[in-house]
Structure 1
């Protein structure tokens, strides 16, 4: 169980990952009894069969149905074996006994052969289900992660749930179904042999059941302890992953060496790994003790079972042939019991992890945008009335009571110091967030009443934290409007030229077909400024009516910066929201909004703001002073 001690590693107090709500159910699992697990199995099996049925009805029916028929063959084979032994142990000449046993022997052989063929066919159907289930489960997860609102990723527990769903919860779906089929296989084997044992000697049936209980209880306890230990280790494992990524990453390698961080990072890794190793050794010790106790009780139960059979023989309650057949049946039953118990163990464990996947999907449902709404065909005016935005677990709002109007064709500049709320306000304007207070209207219609998908088609955003997609240069531009079907927008090369990126791309080893990721064979990387030009080309290719540029030239040289700003002003029908600390680039904006601590403290044109004095003039003159000749 995660606790304050889990965050401390040899005196080092690591930051605690936010939102521990997902740990609450670990206590319930730790106290779950064997009988509670047994009661849960039918529901787990139903859900598992539902997963398999959704993935492939035919393979589900084949995998389960063939195993059921195989169980019938097992029973038939054991009963035929009893007939063979009865004839062989009867009085009379050996040739006569063999001839009398031949029909039953043929039936036993055919039943055994049929059981083998059915097992192979069932295994084929079972193996076919895994890739189909993985496909369905993975698609469902990523449909959820790509559909939720951006604000979901600000939810402290959302990332935790998503990581657990991806790390194992998603992978356990196929294993859950596989374990269910194995459980059915084992259970059918147990029932088949139990049926044969009942026919041969009913008194052996309760002995068979009692012999299996110690193994079943041991398996469940081992599974529960392993799961609870995993939950307690998630936070520590994420810290280890973070440190490992810092120490073995090309992007961090330069700073690690520049600041001589090697000793620091290795020290942190050793401290946390020491606790992780201790937790794993403790788990091994606990599980070994549990397995040892289970083995002792299982051995005692097996001894009692064979003693009961010996007593029946000595008392003359069963004939020798029946006893011999019962012995064969009991051995088969033990194998089937082991299969069933192991499958139940795995099924229970898989269900715990798959439950994380289901819990994440349920959580994601709460973050989906409202479906439907008024389609957006464009806009003439976007109005913000007293809008605010507050991120979870923060005291101060990122945007606080902002009102402004954006009209088609205008260039609107957002200016302010770091942390003043410019990027957050831009995300509100883009429709990436809904305001916590106030209202945003597109041509008089509240953004909450608009169809979010059609609204997004009219918006392009270049962020200051762009992602380096591992695609070709052409694909990196194409994803700006990947579904374009000849709507008259700019071509890829036109967009690249607008961003001063065409010549740069042409000089790459394979031009527009160059893969931009060195992790791949023949991959290539770009400088920060080159990437920023590519990102700008993507925005130009999108050809949206509203273009939001958040520090679009922070990594550009003067020539590329000049070219991009010329293109930003080239389309008179495009509305530009410009965020930049280079105030020389906002002098010609139609309207400038100056933000401080999430609020608009000044707004107007450049000349009017310079005349007013205040924060804008102060910031502008501070920058301008750097270009003046010193006296």
Structure 2
């Protein structure tokens, strides 16, 4: 019995989300949906580039016409060559038709190249149009949408597979049109040669089409059957050859375990692939036998027509060439029917996401004038639920903060601090209650008008792959020539660190680029703080701004925050309570509720949850304090705490 893999069942990949539907669909179902899918593909391609879409379609049609013309001209050549008389005279008689064959062949080749050129021009434009339309929505949709797991999954499918499906669908649709044009050209040629030959072509196409569809279906089903195992192999390969895992792989002696898992998967994959090869070979053999029988039947019809004198020998030779061309065109058409249908399923993911994302866009109010910087922010009994959660993140919370004040939001993990801060910043809108700037509810304001007044130092900052200078300038079109960038970096304690990089402020901060550098967590956090200082917005949200900083850098950062506090409204979130002692007002949250509020001294005197948390932290700095025992009152007030803890 084979050993069970240690890897659990994998979640369905976005690029494979329709594999079950594709595995069960019948060709007749594909054919019914094809007109609708093709119409959508052509519509999108037309929007991307009407000129190139029209050129690709018309040129493919003209290629089919040239094919038909060349086949009919070939009949003229054969008629002249098979006619009675001296060889030289027959060759001379065939020259005009031969010239037409050469012209048709050249025209067909030129038209095919031109059609390929138009298609090659069209595909990147289609992809750009599709992705731009997607990103216009993902960058504008309400932030709350990203908390909905269903919306996030739809977005990943649309982004990772749906956008590419648009490009692949257009390509397959144009290839299908080329195959159908070629098939129509040969069918027309045979109908002109003898109507019975057209019927013979249709009958002969059945086994060829069946064999092509069967082979494609078998390949798809086999690929779908071991997709999960392939993904496991990719995961294991990434774990064994990645810089981020190299240290732990060695420290925890993971090498034997990972190699065993890899060998187990690889052996099973090899057995599966060998079985697939065997089944495909059998299918191709059966298809070849049926195709051979069908071809023999066609030639039997040709022979009967020749014997009866109903079909001249030249027309019979032309029919043979037409049948060969028809087989090539049929294979192209059948292959792309499958591709069009499959890509159409993923294209529906894309269009469906665009529709649902459009329903989650923020409401832009009627013309009410620009939103000025707030002098007073009031939170009035707000409640906020996240998608797919039972309990609210914030419940019936109220507070007020004025220009020049600093408020601190304090509480244990999951108490609702970040959620409340994002409500204040207008990143979320409450389910109940209102957040007002100078009496104007943010729910009725243009989000961009709100956010241009906000700067944020988040605990979940992104490592933007730009230069150090551009990281500080994010969100602005400023020309960094007035020294403001360096000034902001100095206030955040990042200037010396940036100057120490190989190219200073022009150093690329991503190892994905040649010469790029990476930073430590604390260095990235200083850069995030510098970005907020440069923005110099009237509302500053600091959510754990010093979590990755050393004591000296933390001290400098909070000193800079206090120095700039009179010019703005500051909302501070931190678990290091010594840093909130200077806040004008402190709000303590628990399970989304504001349970206490007041100044530091008032909350210490009240002896509630804030005093308990502060005393616990102060105990760690108190000399001789017993583990687990709260510090004495004078220590709780910070009198004996070192500078790094008091942040004086």
Deviations 1:183-233 (A, max 9, x none): 222211111121111111110102212222344345456656766777787
Relative distance call for 1:182 and 1:599 in structure 2 (3 A) is same
The 5 A counterparts of 1:75-114 are: 75-114=68-107
Report the 3-state secondary structure (helix = DSSP H, G, I; strand = E; otherwise coil) of the residue aligned with 1:569. Answer: helix
User: What is the TM-score of this pair, normalised by structure 2?
Assistant: 0.86
Report the 3-state secondary structure (helix = DSSP H, G, I; strand = E; otherwise coil) of the residue aligned with 2:563. Answer: coil
Deviation at 1:286, TM superposition (A): 6.5
Relative distance call for 1:254 and 1:113 in structure 2 (3 A) is closer
Deviation at 1:623, TM superposition (A): 0.8
Deviations 1:569-590 (A, max 9, x none): 2231311111111111111111
Deviation at 1:93, TM superposition (A): 3.2
In structure 1, the residue matched to 2:359 is 366
Output the CA distance in 1 between the equivalents of 2:146 and 2:376.
Answer: 29
Relative distance call for 1:243 and 1:444 in structure 2 (3 A) is farther
Deviations 1:578-617 (A, max 9, x none): 1111111111111111111221111111111111111100
Q: Say whether the 8 Å CA contact 2:364–2:444 is kept in structure 1.
A: no
97-106 or 238-247, larger mean C-alpha shift: 238-247
Q: Say whether the 8 Å CA contact 2:213–2:335 is kept in structure 1.
A: no
Say whether 1:482 aligns with 2:476. Answer: yes
Q: Say whether the 8 Å CA contact 2:507–2:517 is kept in structure 1.
A: yes
Report the 3-state secondary structure (helix = DSSP H, G, I; strand = E; otherwise coil) of the residue aligned with 1:171. Answer: helix
Instruction: Give 1:172's match in structure 2, choosing from 142, 165, 168.
Output: 165
Output the CA distance in 1 between the equivalents of 2:482 and 2:215.
Answer: 61
The 5 A counterparts of 1:250-269 are: 250-262=243-255
Q: Say whether the 8 Å CA contact 1:169–1:356 is kept in structure 2.
A: yes
Relative distance call for 1:589 and 1:278 in structure 2 (3 A) is farther
Relative distance call for 1:330 and 1:272 in structure 2 (3 A) is closer
Instruction: Give 2:571's match in structure 1, choosing from 573, 577, 585.
Output: 577
Deviation at 1:562, TM superposition (A): 1.9
Relative distance call for 1:506 and 1:163 in structure 2 (3 A) is same
Report the 3-state secondary structure (helix = DSSP H, G, I; strand = E; otherwise coil) of the residue aligned with 1:386. Answer: strand
In structure 2, the residue matched to 1:47 is 40
Deviations 1:315-340 (A, max 9, x none): 33222222112112211222222222
Relative distance call for 1:367 and 1:126 in structure 2 (3 A) is same
Deviation at 1:378, TM superposition (A): 1.6
Deviation at 1:349, TM superposition (A): 2.9
Output the CA distance in 2 between the equivalents of 1:541 and 1:562.
Answer: 19
Say whether 1:438 aligns with 2:433. Answer: yes
Output the CA distance in 2 between the equivalents of 1:428 and 1:278.
Answer: 56
Instruction: Give 1:629's match in structure 2, choosing from 608, 615, 623.
Output: 623
Instruction: Give 2:599's match in structure 1, choosing from 605, 615, 628.
Output: 605
RMSD after superposition? 3.3
In structure 2, the residue matched to 1:395 is 390
Output the CA distance in 2 between the equivalents of 1:285 and 1:514.
Answer: 55
Deviations 1:259-306 (A, max 9, x none): 555566666667777887787777767766655554444333323222
Report the 3-state secondary structure (helix = DSSP H, G, I; strand = E; otherwise coil) of the residue aligned with 1:157. Answer: helix
Output the CA distance in 1 between the equivalents of 2:157 and 2:511.
Answer: 29
In structure 2, the residue matched to 1:3 is none
Relative distance call for 1:119 and 1:541 in structure 2 (3 A) is same
Instruction: Give 1:502's match in structure 2, choosing from 495, 509, 512.
Output: 495
Report the 3-state secondary structure (helix = DSSP H, G, I; strand = E; otherwise coil) of the residue aligned with 1:382. Answer: strand
Say whether 1:545 aligns with 2:538. Answer: yes
The 5 A counterparts of 1:162-201 are: 162-201=155-194
Report the 3-state secondary structure (helix = DSSP H, G, I; strand = E; otherwise coil) of the residue aligned with 1:395. Answer: coil
The 5 A counterparts of 1:11-26 are: 12=6, 14=8, 17=11
Say whether 1:129 aligns with 2:127. Answer: no
Q: Say whether the 8 Å CA contact 2:410–2:586 is kept in structure 1.
A: yes
Say whether 1:422 aligns with 2:420. Answer: no
In structure 2, the residue matched to 1:312 is 305
Relative distance call for 1:580 and 1:282 in structure 2 (3 A) is farther
Relative distance call for 1:297 and 1:456 in structure 2 (3 A) is farther
Q: Say whether the 8 Å CA contact 1:495–1:540 is kept in structure 2.
A: yes
Instruction: Give 1:332's match in structure 2, choosing from 325, 334, 345.
Output: 325
Q: Say whether the 8 Å CA contact 1:176–1:350 is kept in structure 2.
A: yes
Q: Say whether the 8 Å CA contact 1:490–1:543 is kept in structure 2.
A: no
Instruction: Give 1:145's match in structure 2, choosing from 109, 118, 138.
Output: 138
Report the 3-state secondary structure (helix = DSSP H, G, I; strand = E; otherwise coil) of the residue aligned with 2:139. Answer: helix
Instruction: Give 1:343's match in structure 2, choosing from 294, 316, 336.
Output: 336
Instruction: Give 1:619's match in structure 2, choosing from 606, 613, 621.
Output: 613
Listed as ranges, the gaps of 5+ residues in structure 1 are 1-7
Q: Say whether the 8 Å CA contact 1:463–1:552 is kept in structure 2.
A: yes
The 5 A counterparts of 1:284-303 are: 293-303=286-296
Output the CA distance in 2 between the equivalents of 1:270 and 1:484.
Answer: 55
Q: Say whether the 8 Å CA contact 2:466–2:509 is kept in structure 1.
A: yes
In structure 2, the residue matched to 1:5 is none
Deviation at 1:535, TM superposition (A): 0.8
In structure 2, the residue matched to 1:4 is none
Output the CA distance in 2 between the equivalents of 1:226 and 1:392.
Answer: 40
In structure 1, the residue matched to 2:561 is 568
Q: Say whether the 8 Å CA contact 2:540–2:568 is kept in structure 1.
A: yes
Q: Say whether the 8 Å CA contact 1:9–1:272 is kept in structure 2.
A: no
The 5 A counterparts of 1:520-559 are: 520-559=513-552
Q: Say whether the 8 Å CA contact 2:364–2:445 is kept in structure 1.
A: no
Q: Say whether the 8 Å CA contact 1:489–1:541 is kept in structure 2.
A: no
Output the CA distance in 2 between the equivalents of 1:451 and 1:230.
Answer: 49
Relative distance call for 1:534 and 1:237 in structure 2 (3 A) is farther
Deviations 1:425-455 (A, max 9, x none): 2222222222233322222222221101111
572-581 or 368-377, larger mean C-alpha shift: 368-377
Output the CA distance in 1 between the equivalents of 2:485 and 2:286.
Answer: 69
